[in-house]
Amino acid sequence: MRFVATALLLCAVLTAETGAQTRYSSQGMRVDGSICVDAATGAVLAQTTADYPGSPASVTKLMTLLLVLEDIRDGKTTLRSRVGVTKEAAGTGGSQIWLAVGETFSAEDMLYALMLKSANDVAVALAVDRAGSTAAFVARMNRRAAEIGMARTRFVTPNGLTYGKGPHDTTTARDLAKLAVVLCAMPEALRFTSAKRYVLRRPLKPMEVLNHNPLLDSFPGCDGLKTGWTEAADASIVTTAKVGGQRVIAVVLGCQSPLGAKAEQRLRDQLAADLMKAGLAKLQAQAAAQAKLPALRPAPQKPLKPKEEPGFWEWLGDLFSF
């Protein structure tokens, strides 16, 4: 029965009319929104309730990643710069690497922990390091979101960890796709999102962190980006894959199931995989059709006759014509 319900929901989500504003559900399962876009252009390849608001959970960390990488690009910090741990960071809950007050790590270590372990304490440490306070960093997140065109997004945390009635980070599948397009244009971002494991160089106690994204192993060409789940936000994912010369981005926001967290995450991952598969097939078909078009050739030009010099009598006639 579980597989039948999942199949029904997959069918509903993947065949819904583009732009519809009603969430689709089956057997109590629900998806807030989904979208697949061409990573090179942002062109929409498929969408279902892509503008319906939802909470992204740890997918929020993609904006934290972007801001840190842009600071590195702009020379404001480096991957080797040390990031200190404050009391606020050490006291963060949820998924974490159990930072201790006074510890320092390189920004590189922190970014791997942020993307692979989805460490909430690391997100807070990076926020304080880059903006002086979590509140100031969140303000930066919202300004950058507006610049990217994420018109329906409002961040309240650097990590997506919220509880109960909130407030919660809010966004849409379309807005998250816009963020992913920017990140996919940065090879350094994919370096962190594609890593399957990393060992933190913790003094006397190295710590291995593993990537939470199962599509890195199961979907050919997948090299990112981020999964998310909390009890308050349900399951979401932003993922990307490149096959040949085509790269697609798929977003699934707010998968909920009465069967629990694991069912939500399996549904989320399957929907994302199906979206990427269909999107890549569409781009490949477009490329094949384009290759069959005859090359446009300019119309042949008639050779110009050389201009004849006027003869004596023509010259004489022109001379005495008034």
Catalytically annotated residue among 34, 118, 236, 257: 118
Distance CA(36)–CA(47), nearest Å, equals 6
CB 61 within 8 A of CB 123: yes
Q: Is there a catalytic annotation at residue 61?
A: yes
**What is the maximum span of the chain, computed from C-alpha positions, in angstroms?**
109
Axis crossing angle, helix 120-131 with helix 134-148, rounded to the nearest 10: 90
The single residue of 34, 55, 61, 178 carrying the catalytic annotation is: 61
Give which of 251, 265, 282 is closest to 179, Cα–Cα.
251
Q: What's 116's DSSP letter?
A: I
Active site residue 305: no
Extract the runs of DSSP E, i.e. beta strands, from the chain: 24-26, 29-38, 44-48, 82-84, 104-106, 197-200, 207-210, 222-230, 234-243, 246-256
Kindly state the helix (H) or strand (E) to which residue 249 belongs, with its residue range: strand 246-256
Q: What is the 3-state secondary structure (H, E, C) of 181-243?
A: HHHHCCHHHHHHHHCCEEEECCCCCCEEEECCCCHHHHCCCEEEEEEEEECCCEEEEEEEEEE
Catalytic site includes residue 95: no
Residue listed under structure tokens 């949820």: 94
**Phi, psi of 241, rounded to the nearest 5 degrees:** -150, 145
Q: Of these residues, 34, 55, 58, 236, which one is catalytic?
A: 58
Would you tell me how many other CB atoms lie within 10 Å of the CB of residue 160? 31
Place of tokens 């050739």: 297
Residues with catalytic roles = 58, 61, 118
